[in-house]
Structure 1
Amino acid sequence: MRMPSQEDLCEVPCVHPEAVQEARSALPDSNCVERATAFLKLVGDPTRLRLLSALKTRELCVCDLAAVVGLSESAVSHQLRLLRAGRVVTFRKAGRIAYYRLLDHHVTVLIKSALEHAAE
């Protein structure tokens, strides 16, 4: 981490109690922060983000996801297991084939927003 420069600091030591109180009251509780941080770390991995981006379009089976992202089925399955444990994706079995999809709309919105932000 870089040290703050003089530009980053207030030139006058001043506290705005109303602003501090308003910001404090808007903070989520610690448990929520921990869960959100774990979620962001989970989806912040490049391989997992590519998998989630592919699943944003439609439900896909493990072998199709492997073909999309250029990894082995075993590697994709491992990443999907992590995403499933983190409640980011869900799956269904059709015979011997496992189909994965994003768990809910929040994940879709997050991925879309992150990629749009990165493209700016």
Structure 2
Amino acid sequence: MDICAEKCINQEKVKQTAKTIPPPEVIEQMVDIFKALSDPGRLKIVLALLNQEHCVCDIAVICNQTDSAISHQLRILRTLKILKNRREGKSIYYSIDDDHVISLINMSLDHVRH
């Protein structure tokens, strides 16, 4: 069994690494993003919007869910700045908020397919 006899062997490395860890509030925001994307329904919505924007009713058809169920999930994803929306007449169109989200999803896909 590989157990350290010392509490901290590489103090300088530990100090350097500790400086790179974000503050607790940033960690909590990151956790919220990963929690949101860990839900299969929400992840499917994000995947549906990866290449183009859609309105609620189209997302509902793609995801085989009701408009109200999709709206609830969209609200969560918008609050976390994973998605953004724009109004066109009476319709609201949703899309990925920024390239960081696209990169995160694409890297996840690449990792799973690797």
Q: TM-score, normalised to structure 2's length?
A: 0.89
The answer to whether the aligner puts 1:109 opposite 2:103 as a matched pair is: yes
Paired letter, 1:58: Q
Deviation at 1:62, TM superposition (A): 0.8
Letter paired with 1:21? K
| Equivalent residue, structure 2, for 1:82 | 76
TM-fit CA distance, 1:64: 1.0
Alpha-carbon distance, 1:80 to partner:
0.3
When residues 73 and 24 of structure 1 are mapped into structure 2, their CA distance, relative to the original with a 3 A threshold, is same
Structure 1 unaligned spans of 5+: 1-5
Which residue in the other structure is 1:52 paired with? 46
SS at match of 1:56: coil
Cα distance per residue 1:65-109 (max 9 Å; x no partner): 111111111111110011111111111121221100111111111
RMSD across aligned positions (CA) = 1.4
C-alpha separation between the residues in 2 aligned to 1:26 and 1:86?
23
Deviation of 1:51 after TM superposition, in Å, equals 0.5
1:12 positional shift: 4.3
What 5-or-longer segments of structure 2 have no aligned partner? none
Question: Equivalent residue for 2:22?
Answer: 28
May I ask how many residue pairs the two structures share in their alignment? Answer: 112
- Cα distance in structure 2, aligned partners of 1:78 and 1:11: 48
Q: What amino acid is aligned across from residue 40 of structure 1 in structure 2?
A: F
Counting only pairs closer than 5 Å after superposition, residues 58-97 of structure 1 correspond to structure 2 as 58-97=52-91
| % same residue | 33
Give the CA deviation at 1:119.
2.1
Aligned mates of 1:28, 1:36 — CA distance in 2: 10
Structure 1 moving runs of 4+ over 4 Å:
none
